[in-house]
Structure 1
Amino acid sequence: MCADTPKSDTPTTDTPDYRSTVFLPQTDFPMRAGLPKREPEWLARWERIGIYDRLREKAADGSRKSFILHDGPPYANGHLHIGHALNKTIKDMIVRSRQMMGHDSRYVPGWDCHGLPIEWKIEEQYRAKGLDKDKVDVVDFRQECRKFAEGWVDVQREEFKRLGITGKWEDPYLTMDFHAEAVIAAEFMKFLMNGTLYQGSKPVMWSPVEKTALAEAEVEYHDHQSHTIWVKFPVVSGSDDLAGLPVVIWTTTPWTIPQNRAVCFNPDIAYGLYEVTAAPEENWARVGDKFLLADNLAEEIFAAARVDDYTRRRAVTAEELGELTLAHPFRGLDGAAGEWDYDVPVLPGDHVTDDAGTGFVHTAPSHGDDDYQIGLKYGLPMTYNVLEDGSYRADLPFFGGKVIITAKGKEGDANKAVIDKLAEAGALIALGRVKHSYPHSWRSKAPLIYRNTPQWFVAIDRKLDDGMGQYGDTIRSRALTSIDELVEWTPVSGRNRLYSMIESRPDWVLSRQRAWGVPLTCFVKKGAKPGDDDFLLRDEAVNKRVVAAFEEKGADVWYVKGFKEEVLAGLHDPEAYEQVFDILDVWFDSGSTHAFVLRDRADGTPDSIADVYMEGTDQHRGWFHSSMLQACGTIGRAPYRAVVTHGFTLDEKGMKMSKSLGNTIVPEEVVKQYGADILRLWVAQTDFTVDQRIGPEILKGVADSYRRLRNTLRFILGNLAGWDADEAVAPAEMPELERWVLHRLAELETEVRKGYEAYDFQGVFQKLFQFCTVDLSTLYFDIRKDALYCDAPDSLRRRAARTVLDILFHRLTTWLAPILVFTMEDVWLSRFPGEDSSVHLQDMPGTPAEWLDTPLAEKWARIRRVRRVVTAALEVQRSAKEIGASLEAAPVVHVAEAEVAALLREADFADLCITSDIIVTTDPMPNEAFRLPEVEGVGVVFERAEGEKCQRCWRILPDVGSHKHPGTCARCDAALG
């Protein structure tokens, strides 16, 4: 009975109705999945039977090697977005696939709970109530932050679980748990004790809006329009013919001019003395003015200054430039109070280029890293003119109280005030505006500034004598060695990304000037200066007291009055020390998770090293980075053996998602419409190592793939109705077609396991989907429907086919279970119902080596090539309405090769082509024979089948009507008994 037979074909009135004798598929597995409604039932069931804990029990005897994916903690401050869904689903596929391949694959979800975003939300609530945060007790404020985080942990936990993510949900890790806070403090104090912690005054990325320093991982770059100014610094000493002439600098941060302490040049750049020979009278740059400029930039500079003509008077050598001393543009101005009456040296610097600007770089050591490094090298003084809110100190002449960035993240009045004063002083030759990439806070989205502030740092190049020098004696060297020698990278580009970041990064800024987080648990001696031997209190006894207090009462205890006295009592004079109240960079919190999750939990690993960390590509500068630095300082190496990275999620057009564009995809809405398995299948179908696209049309395509796969599984279930293991046929006794399927399974076994091990879920699914839709649905199932429906129950062919279906069931359900967690449970329970039954308690079955049969596969590849020509020829006849079903045909197949012809005759080729008969011949093919250009030496001539139609199997055969049972062929007559 063939699927393409018209449904109108029914038994004639003068023959018995044989429909009840045909073994049609029987299953309760529904055609329509109904996932949105049914998935919550499976979730409740898994929780009821304790799936996750039962899997741990399987490993209780130590027979299974552990595999730990350590969860990078999401931030507890809002509903999940599509990036969360992608991230957690990939993690779940990793965890589930490793478990089903024989590991004890443990997954403890976690949350990042400290930090500015939560603090910001509480401040917003305070402002709405008319409260001043600074007047609220800090412990009360921190308690509000804790409650806020707890609420969102509960919300996100349920949203993650709804996606089918397995894990220890009832006992996750939280960075705000008392034990976690105690360990974070203890990890920080390891840097205190090993000598890498120091307090320094240097420029850091500063948010005037949030009033705190930011780590590089908290910075993103957006286009920003800035002022550009060309400023004259007059020569006060040097070559006689240059005296009084100006060096011209260019900057996009006019507000930094009051902090200038030097001007830099590059000895490898050609410079010249230029004179203006034609210009408008109202110009700042006038006829006769002379300037020192880089040769390659002169034309550009004079165009900006609206100079009509100019002349290069002579070259200026690097030796001459190095001997110059300049005056600050504000030097000697009325009202300046001597603020800028200092010499400005001209210093060499490799960072100076002649790609843009003037070839001279204004240098403010307090407001830029290059500037700071020059300041360190040449002993330039630091300035402290800019306050935490982005305003100038009140007593700064001309500019006191002016604001660089307002509390709302907008440009303040500082730039204009400086520009106006420069114009008044006659120090400008041009000004303009430029659009360029500029650092912004990833939270407030407001522009940042470089600001010199006292901060706490970890020195990543300081030599360590901690007994952990196997991979290097500094944090940086250990990190670079770990990247190259200890970690596998998926994709491999992740290695280069993190290596270059760590290779060039400055010391780690640990301190933040906020309230919600783990404090820097250290004390400084009153009257001592940073760098003094006794500046920091280093005492293990004190450290132990701090850790014990945090374990009992949490980090809030640090802010309770009298804590310093309690901790130092009997060990040191409390009056001799000051307590530090800055909080730790939250990246230090998450970077320490390997200690309080992997090391300390019973379901962790004593060496604090995870098998894999998996996050988005932005975490090369975030969690991967901070975890690497933190662990290299405390355990001497990376805390992970592998790093897997996914890209970002875009809309269908490749655009970044944003609420303003209306192109966001919310996981909750996808789950309500399609079910979580469709979202999971979208993840499996994408190459997650690059940016992925998602949208309504893409999801429709995913749903279509899902339906096709579901139909394959439904066919298997329907044809296994009443299966008894006694029916099973040994592979050696099976027909070749069944043995070919086993061979394909043996091939897939290797490919699936390798794919899962390589985190190639796209490759795994594509191979399985291709197998199900091509090898099975359009070939094997199509061919074997007749045997399954019409052969006698005890026939070898039918029993072999059902044996293969049983084998397929066990492999496909377990191979696909890590991806389609709900659907494979549905499939499994359709065969094996029961309260304790679950596909997720199974392992992927092993495959006998003897199933792999390459010669057989090569033989069937040749047979299938010929079959393609036959089926194509029949499709032409069907389209022309010559036949309604392939069983009406008995084509003649002309094959050029005698060997191939012999193979076809041995294989019962009519059965394989689903025709009632077929003739295979090596006779020369006639001109009218149907051919496929890609299959040489094969032609098909259409002929109709001769005989009567069997009323049971619908084959047209000469012997129909000549048997005991009316209207049947010999096969069906025998099956009816």
Structure 2
Amino acid sequence: MTDTAASATEKDYSATLFLPETEFPMRAGLPDREPIWLKRWQDMDIYERQREQAKDRPLFTLHDGPPYANGNIHIGHALNKTLKDLVSRSMQMLGHNAAYIPGWDCHGLPIEWKIEEQYRAKGKDKNEVPVVEFRQECRSFAESWVDIQREEFKRLGILGEWDNPYLTMSFDAEAQIARELMKVSMSGQLYRGSKPVMWSVVERTALAEAEIEYQDYESDTIWVKFPVTKGPHLGASVVIWTTTPWTIPANRAVSFSSKVDYSVYEVTEAPAENWAKTGEKYILADKLAAEVFAKAKVTGFEKRATVSADELKAITAAHPLRGFSGGYNFDVPLLDGEHVTDDAGTGFVHTAPSHGLDDFDIWMTSTRLLQDRGIDPSIPFPVGDDGFYTKEAPGFDGARVIDDNGKKGDANQRVITALAEHGNIIARGRVKHQYPHSWRSKKPVIYRNTPQWFVYMDKAIEGAEGDTLRVRALNAIDKTKFYPAAGQNRLRAMIADRPDWVLSRQRAWGVPITVFVHKETSEILRDETVNHRIAQSFEEEGADAWYKPGAAERYLGSAYKVEDYEMVTDVLDVWFDSGSTHAFVLRNKQKWPHLKFPASMYLEGSDQHRGWFHSSLLESCATNGYAPYDSVLTHGFTMDGEGKKMSKSLGNTVAPQDIIKQYGADILRLWVASSDYSEDLRLGKEIIQTTVDAYRKLRNTLRWLLGNLAHFKADDVVDFRDMPELERLMLHRLVQLDAGVRSAYKEYDYRKVVSLLSNFMNIELSAFYFDIRKDTLYCDPISSVKRRSALTVLDHLFNALTAWLAPILVFTMEECWLERHPGENESVHLRLFPDLPAEWLDDGLEAKWDKIKAVRRVITGELEIRRREKVIGSSLEAAPQVFIADAALAAAVADIDLAEVAITSSISLANGHAAPVGGFTLPEVPGVTVVFAAAEGQRCARSWKILPEVGTDAEYPDVTLRDAQALRERAAAGL
């Protein structure tokens, strides 16, 4: 009977097969189903269940770096929070108590700006509103965004103490922030000084380096003469180059380097209309002279004399604006500075201590020299907080450096015109370069000398001689583990080079700098009783207490006269707020008993080396002497699919809300886990689709597992010692995988976890083990040890895979687990990673099956060709001959059912026989040749195998003997 004829008359045995049965859908429907699991977790209070379950386990604390509460979350937030969730969930399942307390940064300029915008829209003036009322509006604004962001983070599947987060604006937090500041003050680390700081004219406040970003900017450049009035080389001029002409009124010195070679050069030929005139003499760095003359359009010049460092030190110059509006009549000294090079410019640096840190430093270190030469060492304040020149810039009344919109004012042009009128400019131009901008307003800032509050980096901390904040911080960095390791050097370099920490901001919404200063002595009041009163009032009323009438009297009490003290009104840098979170979160055992200090880990984007990692390190080192974290993990930024920075203007942003709405949060989580987060991460339509495809394969594997496990019963369990080799091989691989997955989770290498599990599930399970065992699982008799062994292995696979994937695919694994364990209090997220027996390991078995797989590849290679040629439709139509010349390969396959492994109806082994010419081979598997032959016999109506034995069972003549036995057992069992 032909197969065609048989198929027309054969009985339908499909109902007798153990086919997969599951309600776990092929189509995930994540956008609709994920909220169901979120509500379930909320109803069962799964987070608190975890805490109770893990109360005696070692603590692992990932401390949440607080996002800013002023807008919907973006893809960077989703990346950051998902990584944190991966850490906390995986450490929980590795056997820790990994509590996660989310937090928010609530003070600061962006929120204050929003309220000011609302005021302007209503025609209100902020200055006419009581400060406490204004602060309350800021607080309400922040609260509204905390609520919105909280729901958006929860929708990502982030598990945490959402009903009890930390907020930097909560009363207890504000009180502790003030305590931390007062600790710094009491240890002598706080001081008020006057030095150049980054100043935002637009925002009217000082900014720290962490609040600065560098953008392309076009600046005016000028080459300016400082005529020599005393010392050698009279009649010549020292020439400087600057990109900030507006700072010339603030000039007080010119810096040079004793390591640079200088000479006097004379202009011998120049156009009549030139600023640089024939006969003029300039002192320039030899390396840069030709370039300077080219910029000045000088057509001829000659070197007249070399100038030594000693000669330069003896020179005094006139200010290039001397006599302008009756000002600038002071001497300008030349100072030897380490910051001067001959890489660009003229080899001399215009030094305005009001507007540059290097300028300020060299001026301050030269105080004695200046006084010896009769030069006033005081530093002027020529530019106000509004960007206008002050009276200390004579002749420039009304000129402005930057306006309220961040645009250039007329200061540069006014200065250039004045210099030209005095004959002290020789050239001008423009240059595009990286210039500091506020990362909030995106507008350029200026360096401006203002009175501010600072923390010393290099002054010995009281009671600890030789122990400075910088020393403490550098030592702490050396004791911290960094992921990736390069982060350590990056943070170390920043700490090693940073100036004193600017703490003060001239704004209203924040924690005030809670100190009193004696009006006559300028000494900071250091009194623990006063400090206690301040902190206690903040606990009860929040930081608003500082601004309420009678606050000074309340705090100073009867021990001090209010009229003798200034009550500081500046607020703290918000980086001090967030840098203090360790104090009011990690060490607050009453509120969060499951946290440890120092934290096990801080995790943020790589920009936080200059932000939260940095400020937290300094704050903790200042108050505790060590870092607030044991380890630091950093991730890159999100880019579009082509590697470009995401930007609303470019239209290439990807909103996490949109991905969740279309695909579900588990897809977003899988993308995060699959990516190399140590670099910038790309995300676009193709990448999302690739992630969707990867998810679908994982889901299908789990669905197949669930479908087959529907037939698994407790009495089906087989001891691994009694299992066939193939099952024991799978258990061996499971133990190996356990070690790899655990190691990757411990090293926070989620990409490796996904890779290990995807390869295992797609290649070793779906394409190998499942493919081979389908026949056994579907068709074998109820009593079959092989079938029960396979079911036992599937059970172990399911238990391990659902646990290992649970931190990543939080919704899908819950759905999958509950399909088998539908109890009301069940959850995959209450599990630990399973402990797998080491006795399952069998390296010898793996080595043997590597050889078997190699032979299998040759057989399936031949069958694939026949399938493409349409010689066969199914591999069961084949019964190939296999010639194995390699003794080791022949020995490996000698005692296994090679037909079963290759999924053919039969195979004939021709070991010891010469392989015929033209047989199929693979170069990578030498010594194996396969010759195709069609299967002989009749096709089994139940398993579709083609064997001569079909028809030999009188009771079931249309099936194999194995299938006949299966049918008899089913009938006996009443199935």
TM-score (norm 1): 0.96
Distance in 2 between residues matched to 1:936 and 1:389, nearest whole Å: 82
Q: Counterparts in 2 of 1:427-466, with a 5 A limit?
A: 427-465=424-462
Amino acid in the other structure paired with 2:260: I
- Classify 1:523/1:365 alpha carbon distance in 2 versus 1 (closer, same or farther; 3 Å): same
Q: Using the TM superposition, give the Cα deviation of residue 847 of structure 1 relative to its aligned residue in structure 2, in angstroms.
A: 0.8
1:24 maps to 19
Distance in 1 between residues matched to 2:297 and 2:542, nearest whole Å: 64
Q: Using the TM superposition, give the Cα deviation of residue 897 of structure 1 relative to its aligned residue in structure 2, in angstroms.
A: 1.8
Distance in 2 between residues matched to 1:377 and 1:569, nearest whole Å: 41
Structure 1, residues 246-272: CA drift from partner, whole Å, max 9, x if none? 110000000100000100111111111
The secondary structure found in structure 1 opposite 2:154 is helix
Which of the numbers 699, 711, 719 marks the counterpart of 2:708?
Answer: 719
2:402 maps to 405
1:263 maps to 254
Amino acid in the other structure paired with 2:696: R
Q: Counterparts in 2 of 1:268-417, with a 5 A limit?
A: 268-333=259-324, 336-337=325-326, 339-379=327-367, 380-394=377-391, 396-417=393-414
Amino acid in the other structure paired with 2:419: L
Structure 1, residues 463-508: CA drift from partner, whole Å, max 9, x if none? 22457x9xx82211111111112x1100001000000000111111
1:678 maps to 667
Which of the numbers 853, 869, 884 marks the counterpart of 2:858?
Answer: 869
Q: Counterparts in 2 of 1:435-584, with a 5 A limit?
A: 435-465=432-462, 473-485=467-479, 487-529=480-522, 535-584=523-572
The secondary structure found in structure 2 opposite 1:104 is coil
Q: Using the TM superposition, give the Cα deviation of residue 830 of structure 1 relative to its aligned residue in structure 2, in angstroms.
A: 0.8
Structure 1, residues 429-469: CA drift from partner, whole Å, max 9, x if none? 000000000000000000010000000011122222457x9
The secondary structure found in structure 2 opposite 1:569 is helix
Distance in 2 between residues matched to 1:942 and 1:565, nearest whole Å: 101
Distance in 1 between residues matched to 2:459 and 2:722, nearest whole Å: 71
- Classify 1:395/1:253 alpha carbon distance in 2 versus 1 (closer, same or farther; 3 Å): closer
Which of the numbers 752, 766, 769 marks the counterpart of 1:780?
Answer: 769
Contact residue 441 and residue 447 of structure 1 kept, 8 A: yes
Distance in 2 between residues matched to 1:569 and 1:635, nearest whole Å: 29
Amino acid in the other structure paired with 2:408: E
Unaligned runs of 5+ in 2: 368-376, 969-975
Q: Using the TM superposition, give the Cα deviation of residue 605 of structure 1 relative to its aligned residue in structure 2, in angstroms.
A: 6.3
Distance in 2 between residues matched to 1:734 and 1:516, nearest whole Å: 70
Structure 1, residues 5-51: CA drift from partner, whole Å, max 9, x if none? xxx98974544321111111000000000000110111011000000
Distance in 1 between residues matched to 2:963 and 2:605, nearest whole Å: 60
Distance in 2 between residues matched to 1:123 and 1:668, nearest whole Å: 29
1:44 maps to 39
Structure 1, residues 791-827: CA drift from partner, whole Å, max 9, x if none? 0122001000000000011100000000000000110
The secondary structure found in structure 1 opposite 2:260 is coil
2:371 maps to none
The secondary structure found in structure 2 opposite 1:476 is helix
Contact residue 901 and residue 921 of structure 1 kept, 8 A: no
Contact residue 579 and residue 617 of structure 2 kept, 8 A: yes
Distance in 1 between residues matched to 2:210 and 2:263, nearest whole Å: 42
Distance in 2 between residues matched to 1:381 and 1:851, nearest whole Å: 80
The secondary structure found in structure 1 opposite 2:558 is coil
Which of the numbers 96, 109, 121 marks the counterpart of 1:103?
Answer: 96
Structure 1, residues 880-902: CA drift from partner, whole Å, max 9, x if none? 11100000011111111233213
Distance in 2 between residues matched to 1:880 and 1:518, nearest whole Å: 78
Distance in 2 between residues matched to 1:361 and 1:164, nearest whole Å: 56
Distance in 2 between residues matched to 1:822 and 1:777, nearest whole Å: 22
Amino acid in the other structure paired with 2:46: I
Q: Using the TM superposition, give the Cα deviation of residue 332 of structure 1 relative to its aligned residue in structure 2, in angstroms.
A: 2.0
Q: Using the TM superposition, give the Cα deviation of residue 354 of structure 1 relative to its aligned residue in structure 2, in angstroms.
A: 0.7
2:372 maps to none
**Pair 1:849 & 2:806 matched:** no
1:92 maps to 85
Distance in 2 between residues matched to 1:844 and 1:48, nearest whole Å: 24
Which of the numbers 732, 740, 743 marks the counterpart of 1:743?
Answer: 732
Q: Counterparts in 2 of 1:568-967, with a 5 A limit?
A: 568-602=556-590, 603-604=592-593, 608-922=597-911, 923-963=913-953, 964-967=955-958
Contact residue 901 and residue 920 of structure 1 kept, 8 A: no
Identity percentage over the alignment?
Answer: 59
Q: Using the TM superposition, give the Cα deviation of residue 606 of structure 1 relative to its aligned residue in structure 2, in angstroms.
A: 7.5
- Classify 1:738/1:85 alpha carbon distance in 2 versus 1 (closer, same or farther; 3 Å): same
Contact residue 365 and residue 381 of structure 1 kept, 8 A: no
Q: Using the TM superposition, give the Cα deviation of residue 381 of structure 1 relative to its aligned residue in structure 2, in angstroms.
A: 2.4
Contact residue 458 and residue 508 of structure 1 kept, 8 A: yes
Amino acid in the other structure paired with 1:643: V
2:972 maps to none
Distance in 1 between residues matched to 2:300 and 2:919, nearest whole Å: 85
**Pair 1:123 & 2:113 matched:** no
**Pair 1:175 & 2:157 matched:** no
Contact residue 920 and residue 929 of structure 2 kept, 8 A: yes
Q: Using the TM superposition, give the Cα deviation of residue 401 of structure 1 relative to its aligned residue in structure 2, in angstroms.
A: 2.5
Unaligned runs of 5+ in 1: 1-7, 530-534
- Classify 1:696/1:421 alpha carbon distance in 2 versus 1 (closer, same or farther; 3 Å): same
- Classify 1:685/1:580 alpha carbon distance in 2 versus 1 (closer, same or farther; 3 Å): same
1:5 maps to none
Distance in 2 between residues matched to 1:576 and 1:747, nearest whole Å: 74
Distance in 2 between residues matched to 1:417 and 1:659, nearest whole Å: 37
Amino acid in the other structure paired with 2:148: V
Q: Using the TM superposition, give the Cα deviation of residue 722 of structure 1 relative to its aligned residue in structure 2, in angstroms.
A: 3.4
Distance in 1 between residues matched to 2:89 and 2:406, nearest whole Å: 45
Distance in 1 between residues matched to 2:4 and 2:18, nearest whole Å: 17
Contact residue 171 and residue 541 of structure 2 kept, 8 A: yes
Amino acid in the other structure paired with 1:539: D
- Classify 1:466/1:869 alpha carbon distance in 2 versus 1 (closer, same or farther; 3 Å): farther
Q: Using the TM superposition, give the Cα deviation of residue 395 of structure 1 relative to its aligned residue in structure 2, in angstroms.
A: 6.6
Distance in 2 between residues matched to 1:129 and 1:610, nearest whole Å: 46
Distance in 2 between residues matched to 1:115 and 1:182, nearest whole Å: 17
1:532 maps to none
The secondary structure found in structure 2 opposite 1:570 is helix
Contact residue 60 and residue 595 of structure 2 kept, 8 A: no
Distance in 2 between residues matched to 1:394 and 1:925, nearest whole Å: 102
Distance in 1 between residues matched to 2:345 and 2:886, nearest whole Å: 77
> How many positions carry a matched residue from both structures?
954
Tell me how large the CA RMSD over aligned residues is. Answer: 1.3
- Classify 1:624/1:284 alpha carbon distance in 2 versus 1 (closer, same or farther; 3 Å): same
The secondary structure found in structure 2 opposite 1:578 is strand
Amino acid in the other structure paired with 1:757: K
Contact residue 731 and residue 739 of structure 1 kept, 8 A: yes
1:232 maps to 225
